[in-house]
Structures are given as C-alpha cells and as structure tokens.
Structure 1
Amino acid sequence: MSIRVKASPAIEILGVGDQVAIGLRSLPLGLVKSFPYHYERHVKDQISNTEARLIEESVLYLEPESDGAQEDVGFVVPTRDPNPCDLKRTLASIRKFSTCAPLVVVDDGSKNGDEVLRLTRSYGGSYVRIPTPHGPGFARNTGAATLINDIIVFVDSDVEFESRQLSTVLALFEAQDVVASAPRILSKSSRSATDLLRDTHFELDMGPVFASVPSPYVPYLPSATLCVRRGAFEESGGFDPTLFLGEDVDLVLRLHRLGRIYYLPSATFFHKDTPNPLRAFEKSFRYGLSYSDLHKKHRDRVHTLPLTARDRAIFIGTNLLIGPDLTAIVKLLLRLLRILAHAKRLGVHLDRGGIEIATKAAYKDVFREISELWLRVWILPLVLASLFSTRCRRFLLLSASIKYLRWRSKTQEPFTQMIASDIGYSFGVITSLVLGAAQEILA
C-alpha cells in the first residue's frame, strides 16, 4: 500500500491556474504563495509538517492506493438487539475482506443473545456477552481488550462495505503518525446508487471532502466505522464508558492529541437507515443531549457554533442593530472582500469568471452557516423569538427558504424528516444545556 499527497481540487476556487489562494482561511502567505497546483508526492513513512498543515487547510489531500495487501487488523462489532439480517450482512462484509482476521462481537445485553451467538460462530467470530447493558463505549472497549492487532476496526452491526473500500481507509496507516481514519457513511435507505452519492441529510455522513479531523469541515468522526491504531487507542484510554452519547466525538478529540486523524470520503460504507420523522426526531434529540457532557470535557473545542466568542458577540450585536437578514448580507460582503484581498496579496489576477466563483464560494459559506447551523441548533428559540420580533421572523423566513432550496437541489430525503431531525437536535442541545446548568447549580 502507498499514499500520495496531492493538491486538492478545492484550491481552484479562484480559477488561478497553478497558483493557490485560499480565501476563507487565514494562512501564512509563505505556505501558499506560488504553490504548484499539480503537486504530488508519495509518502513513505512520514507526512511533513508543512504538508500536514496544508492538509488541515484543505489545500492538499491524501490519496491512498491499495495493492491488495492487508494490515494487521482486528474487528470489533458492538451490538444490542440487532436485526439478524443486518448483523449477518455486517459479518459477511468483514469475512469478504478477510477470512481469518480476528472478529469479536460484543453483545451488550441483547434479548436475542442466542441468535447473536449463532451468527457470530457461523462467521468464525468470538462472542462476548455483557449481561446488563453498559452502553456502546463500554462494549467497544471490552472487544478491543481481547485483540492484539496493530489496528482495530470498530464496525456497527448495521453497516455494510466492500473490501476494496476498507483497504483504502487502512492504507492511510502507512503514514506512521496517523492514529485513526474513517470512511464516509451513507444511508442505505436511498433508492438508487445515484442518490447515495448525493449530499443527503444523514447524521453520520460527514460530507464529500477529504479532511483532517477535527477541523471546521469535519469536527469529528462517527464510530459507525472507525479504524484506530491500537497503541494510540490504549494510550488515550479508549471510549469513555460513562458517555452513552457522544462517545465517538470525545474519543476523536483525545486521539487528536496523539497523532493525525483523517476522513476519507472516497471510501463509502452503507448504514441501515429507515426514513421516519419520529425516528429522526428521536435520534437527533439523543445526539443533541450529548452536547453538555462534551462541552464540559472539551470546553475549548466543542461549540454549538464554530465561532470565537468575539465573532458571536459581533454577530449578535449586528442582529440587534440592523436585523438578521441584513447581517447575512454584510457577512457575505466581508467574506468576498477577504477573498479578493488574499488574491491581491498573492499577485493573482481575477477575471470576471474568477470573481463569480469567489462570490459563489462566499455565498455558500455564509448561508451554510445560517441554514445549517443556526436553524439546526437554535431553531426552537428562533421560532419563539419570531412570535415577538419582526426581525426574527424575517431571519426565520430567510433561513427556512435557504434550507428548502438546498433540500430540493441536494437531497432525496423527505422534507418532514429533515425538519424533524433539526427540531430534535435543537431540543436535545437546549435540554442538555438546561440540565448541565442545573447540575452545576446543585453542585
């Protein structure tokens, strides 16, 4: 296996040929000035610090190449009351990848434990039963403790994948400083292969862009499928068994202190997901509930919005002075000016086409923040505030319109399910904050 470091297509954002200008991020000009667009290098053992910095800023990306060789891999499948058909498909995917790799199925107090045991043994796996449910983190730790392999692959019991896709994810470990990696997780409920490759509103899908994790683009990796170097997993302490929610976010933030973590969207795995507004509300509510616990453990790295305190103060202040809708326009103009300033300092000439591309980039970034972050996290307070404020009503209408247009163009999911998911997450975050504040007062 080998890895190539390549220039990302994202750097064509300004249409500048063989020069790079990153408009939405502040980078030392020495890192990007006259950086060749066709840069490519094979990695043998180590990614250079400069390359790693540019990967973090999405200037470069990694392209693993699998030659069919298999890493020293062991698999852990945590489960509780699984659908036998789903579990069978998961175990079959693992055995197609390797017929002899250690496989541990950890049964976290399932009622149908005999069926789980039968399926596990039929695929040559080891069965570990926890009589009383202790949560997914505890189950994964229990399974990992039985393995001695260099790399542990955690796979949920309703995930399917192709062997070639997993091989490319594992190829990232050729770089010795990589401690974890993960593929893109897509919903299997979509109707066709074309739908699966579109941007869908699915909680486990971290998007189509390669990223260093955590980053503003990919803040964490879901544990539906997560590959971890065993030494780093043990040094980090593994999953926090006290967290029934958000344990994957917590682990990734602790692993990041030990090495590099990468998200590889070119490798796609499929997760069983049944479209249902009530189920979407419940799942998103549970995700939102984890916010308070995560914020206590990682105060400097977990925020409801990826903004600094000063940015949040400015945003709120401008909302009060000129209204939320005009604030969005002001933010759009400021980001566009920032792109043009970067281009000028780099000596890049922007023609009309380049300016149009830069404007679309700024527009997409600003309104993604409005439609995705503000509506998803703060939709309930915004609806309540709109009952008393004309400005909040305008902002809610603007945000909902953007959300609707994005939904029509980029997802096959029912609109009611997407709204239920957003409301559930917002309700979960607010409940988490209230409960967290109450605990601190009582303490």
Structure 2
Amino acid sequence: MTLPRGFEVTLDRSTRVLDGGRALLGGNPVRLVRLGARARPLLSGRTVRVRDAAGAVLADRLLETGLAHPAVHALPPPPGADGGAGPDCTYVIPVRDRPRELARLLAGLPVGSPVVVVDDASHRPGPVVAVAAEHGARLLTLTVNGGPAGARNAGLRLVTTPYVAFVDSDVVLPPDAVPTLLRHFADPRVAMAVPRITGLVTPASAGWLGRYERIRSSLDLGTDPASVRPGTPVSWVPSACVVARVDALADGFDPRLRVGEDVDLCWRLARSGLRVRYEPSVEAAHEHRVTLRDWFRRKAEYGTGAHPLAERHPHNIAPAVLAPWNAALVLALVAQRRWSLPVAAGLCAVATARIARTLRSTGQPVRHAVRLTGGGAVSAVAQGSALLTRHWWPLTVLGCLVSSRIRRATAVAAVADIALEYRRDRAGLDPVRYGIARRLDDLAYGTGVWISALKGRSTAALRPRIVPARASARRKPGSRGRPGG
C-alpha cells in the first residue's frame, strides 16, 4: 500500500532540519533520520509532496516515525464526498435516553447522509423513536443494554458504505468535520481518523468544573496532530467521534469493555500495522459532565478500564515509561539527600554527552543534546509527579504519614504541575479552584485504577516500565491521558 500522487505531508513543528537539510531530528521516540542525496530534493521547505515512488517512500517514512503529518486540507476529498460526508459514509449514533441531545446532533448532520441511530435499551424509548423519525434516521432498538461498544457494533453491522462515523449523542459536529477527516483515507494504511474533542459551551458549563473541563478534559488530546500509537504523546483517541474505514474494523469494538473500548481498538489497529490519525484542526464539541458527583464518578470510571486494558495490552498500559537514566533521575530527586542534586546533574551530563555523540555530524550537537536532555528530564519529573499524585495516591497518603521526605515530594509535585500549566486566560479560573479541580481529577482517576487492580488482583496497571533509552518515548510534560497518564 503506497501513498498516492499528490499526497502531501508537513514536518511536525518539533522536527528540526539539521546539517543543511541532510538530517531530520524529531519523532516519537526522538530519532535522527539522515536523508540521502535522492531524498533531500524531495523536501521543499518543510513539506514533501508525493510525485513519484521515491516521494511516496519518503513521505511514508516520515509519517511512520512521527516526523511529519498529512497536510489534510491539501489532500483531495474522497470520491462521493461532494462537500459533505456523502453517500460513502454512514453515521452510527448510539444513544440511551438523550432525545434532546440526539435531536441537536441530527439537526447538524449533512442532508442526505445515511444515519443509523442505535437505541441502547432506553428507559423511555418513545422520545428517541420520535426524534429519529423526525430526522429520517434509521432506528435500531436494542432490548438489552450493551454499552457503548455493543451499541456501536450493532450499528456497524447495518453499514453498507465504505466508511462509518461513530458519533456519541452528546456531541455537536460542525458541517465540515467528517468530510475533512475523510481526507485522511487517501493514505491506504489509515484505518481511523479522529478530531479534537472540545467542551461544548452551555449554561451549565459556566461553573468552575465546566471551565476546568474546557481546558483539561480527559477527551481533549491537545492542539498537535499525531499518529496514534502506544507509548507516544497521543497513545489513544476517544470514541466520542470517530471516522473509520469499515473493512479495517473487522468486528469493531470489544463488547466486553464498558470503559476503554476506544483505547483497545486503537492499540489493536496499531498492532496490525494500520494507522490512526489524530486531527486537531477538526473539532467536535462534547457536552461534558459538570456536576461534581457525575464528573467525579466518570473520571473514576475511566480509571477502572486500566486492568482490563493491562490484560489485553500488557506492554502498553504502564502509568510511566522511563529510560534508565530518567528513572534514576527521579529516584535521586525524591531521595532529597545531599548527593541528590549532584547525582541528578551528573545523569543529565552523561545523557547529554551520549546524545551529542550521536549528533556530532549535524552542527551544534551539544546545543541540540542539551535541549533533548532537558526535555527528557522535565518529562521524567512530570511522570514521577503523576505517579505520586494520581496513580499511586493511596500509597502516597500512607507514605506521607511516616516520611517527611515523601510529604515534601508530594507537596512539590502537587503544586508544580499547577504552576507550570495554569494560565488564567485559558482557564477562566483562579489558581485555587483550578488546583482543587486538578487534584480531584487525579484522585478520581487513581481511585478507579486501584479499584480495577484490586478486582483483577494484579498490579500490572500500576507498574512503570523501564525501557532502553533509544526506545523510550518522550511524553509531553503534564500529559494526563487515560491509559497510562
């Protein structure tokens, strides 16, 4: 499967062009890729446009390593799109007792698009039946509640088009969302494309939890496009809105999973060699839970997916992924001894020297090495802090009762991430309420993880993973993704 002529990719904003265009530094995990004499002319500025077989090979390599992403708005729409989703894509909408939200979603879908509404055993099915009929949607009624995965799979079995868009009933889609995502399927290896999930602004979302969710939602994976793979900054994508190639889905979502079914599907597709694209230039607005009880319960439910995912994907679920020097750095700092800072500095110096040796022929190798080491150190500290305040918080509480060092480390970890990420203009919250929401978020998710671990009688979802330095993935500081962050 090769990329077609006209396919265009653009270097990731973090990718550095070195040595006069002879090498690229970036990707996930970070790597140095040297361009041969034939490949160098194919890179025009920061763009590669496929014009021949050599261009297709280079563009595919850049996509595979995370050094570049599809220039989605420069790609042609798929056949039959005609400015809308077109007859080639069917919308499948699972719903349970949300007629108001369902009507809002259906009203915004492109006219003429095939739509299947799956009523997942509503307590009051009458209003759902009426809304589906009013908007001309096909209705499939389930007598037994199968959960999100089961409902989507039931709808998938009725799809006869090449593409399917799974959209939750509490989502609002702009008209160009699905048509834009369909452009990603010009790459024959793409199985699924997903937009950025933002918070829907409603009167209820004006409160402090609603404002927090608009910038720290578990479903919002940020502003950078990404290839979705385990161990990378975007290791999964939520299924609130998903566009997929029907023939790549096989049996669809795992119906045994009530939580984490989206993570499981992403990782199964990646394992089979297919691509999942995260496209943040497309946004879908989700009506978040904003009452404290519902919000806290939902965050905890996300955590309960940890152990089932650990059973299916034991190498992907670790709450922290660290290279040996990163792990040693975190341990040295947590120890808070006289030797802690010198040891930490020495570890960073050794890591810098090793990276600089790898980059010695690129020009300014030390400068680039210092930047990479600094990023790795910050990422390690962020992951260590998350272990203390999020994944391991029950152990942290016990440790704080007996150790002043753990108390100091926990206090620093709890305050540092707020200080690093808080922005009044983005949050619309004062630091105190932002900090309270952040800690409650960690408490709820961590509680769910521990519940799942205890039920499964396994610590697999709680154990960090130490990997060789060259295979480790540099995570974004403060990343709070569901499976391991």
Q: 1:100 Cα deviation (Å)?
A: 1.5
State how far apart, in whole Å, the 2-side matches of 1:328 and 1:159 are. Answer: 46
Look up the equivalent residue of 1:375 and give its one-letter code: T
DSSP-derived class of the 2:233 partner: coil
Question: What are the equivalent positions in structure 2 for 1:38-437 lying under 5 Å apart?
Answer: 38-42=45-49, 48=56, 50-65=58-73, 68=83, 70=85, 72-82=88-98, 84-94=99-109, 98-189=110-201, 200-215=215-230, 216-234=232-250, 237-256=251-270, 257-307=272-322, 314=328, 318=332, 340-348=356-364, 361-362=375-376, 364-372=378-386, 374-409=388-423, 411-412=427-428, 414-415=433-434, 416-437=436-457
State how far apart, in whole Å, the 2-side matches of 1:182 and 1:401 are. Answer: 33
Question: How has the CA–CA distance of structure 1 residues 198 and 114 changed in structure 2, closer, same or farther, with 3 Å as cutoff?
Answer: closer
Greater RCO, CA 8 A, separation 6+: 1
Q: Which region of structure 1 is more displaced relative to structure 2, 157-166 or 146-155?
A: 157-166
Question: How has the CA–CA distance of structure 1 residues 374 and 5 changed in structure 2, closer, same or farther, with 3 Å as cutoff?
Answer: farther
Q: 1:367 Cα deviation (Å)?
A: 4.1
Q: Which region of structure 1 is more displaced relative to structure 2, 246-255 or 429-438?
A: 429-438
For structure 1, the residue ranges without an aligned partner over 5 or more in a row are: none
Question: How has the CA–CA distance of structure 1 residues 110 and 329 changed in structure 2, closer, same or farther, with 3 Å as cutoff?
Answer: farther
Deviations 1:340-367 (A, max 9, x none): 555434233677xx79966764565344
TM-score by length of 2: 0.77
DSSP-derived class of the 1:9 partner: coil
DSSP-derived class of the 1:275 partner: coil
State how far apart, in whole Å, the 1-side matches of 2:211 and 2:50 are. Answer: 31
Q: 1:23 Cα deviation (Å)?
A: 9.1
Alignment: residue pair count: 428
Q: Which region of structure 1 is more displaced relative to structure 2, 51-60 or 202-211?
A: 51-60
Deviations 1:198-240 (A, max 9, x none): 9821010111111111141111111001111100112xx2111
Contact 1:11/1:59 (<8 A) preserved: yes
- Identical columns (%): 26
2:25 alignment counterpart = 21
Look up the equivalent residue of 2:67 and give its one-letter code: V
Contact 1:220/1:249 (<8 A) preserved: yes
Question: How has the CA–CA distance of structure 1 residues 406 and 350 changed in structure 2, closer, same or farther, with 3 Å as cutoff?
Answer: same
State how far apart, in whole Å, the 1-side matches of 2:428 and 2:354 are. Answer: 35
State how far apart, in whole Å, the 2-side matches of 1:212 and 1:331 are. Answer: 31
2:3 is equivalent to residue 8 of structure 1: no
Q: Which region of structure 1 is more displaced relative to structure 2, 197-206 or 275-284?
A: 197-206
Contact 2:120/2:147 (<8 A) preserved: yes
Look up the equivalent residue of 1:284 and give its one-letter code: K
Deviations 1:146-177 (A, max 9, x none): 11110111000010121223222110011111
Q: 1:62 Cα deviation (Å)?
A: 1.2
Q: 1:276 Cα deviation (Å)?
A: 3.4
Q: 1:244 Cα deviation (Å)?
A: 0.9
State how far apart, in whole Å, the 2-side matches of 1:55 and 1:199 are. Answer: 30
State how far apart, in whole Å, the 1-side matches of 2:27 and 2:57 are. Answer: 22
Question: How has the CA–CA distance of structure 1 residues 69 and 155 changed in structure 2, closer, same or farther, with 3 Å as cutoff?
Answer: closer
Contact 2:322/2:380 (<8 A) preserved: no
DSSP-derived class of the 1:200 partner: helix
Q: 1:286 Cα deviation (Å)?
A: 0.5
Q: Which region of structure 1 is more displaced relative to structure 2, 52-61 or 202-211?
A: 52-61
Contact 1:377/1:429 (<8 A) preserved: yes
Look up the equivalent residue of 1:144 and give its one-letter code: L
TM-score by length of 1: 0.83
Deviations 1:61-85 (A, max 9, x none): 1111265364510011011121x33
For structure 2, the residue ranges without an aligned partner over 5 or more in a row are: 78-82, 461-485
Question: How has the CA–CA distance of structure 1 residues 286 and 311 changed in structure 2, closer, same or farther, with 3 Å as cutoff?
Answer: farther
Question: How has the CA–CA distance of structure 1 residues 251 and 25 changed in structure 2, closer, same or farther, with 3 Å as cutoff?
Answer: closer
State how far apart, in whole Å, the 2-side matches of 1:73 and 1:424 are. Answer: 37
Q: 1:294 Cα deviation (Å)?
A: 0.7
Look up the equivalent residue of 2:258 and give its one-letter code: F
DSSP-derived class of the 1:217 partner: coil
Deviations 1:80-111 (A, max 9, x none): 121x33222211222xxx21121011111111
Question: How has the CA–CA distance of structure 1 residues 21 and 198 changed in structure 2, closer, same or farther, with 3 Å as cutoff?
Answer: farther
Q: Which region of structure 1 is more displaced relative to structure 2, 133-142 or 19-28?
A: 19-28
Question: How has the CA–CA distance of structure 1 residues 211 and 330 changed in structure 2, closer, same or farther, with 3 Å as cutoff?
Answer: farther
Deviations 1:272-309 (A, max 9, x none): 0143333332111111111111110111222222347x
Q: Which region of structure 1 is more displaced relative to structure 2, 363-372 or 213-222?
A: 363-372
Question: How has the CA–CA distance of structure 1 residues 340 and 279 changed in structure 2, closer, same or farther, with 3 Å as cutoff?
Answer: farther
State how far apart, in whole Å, the 1-side matches of 2:27 and 2:360 are. Answer: 11
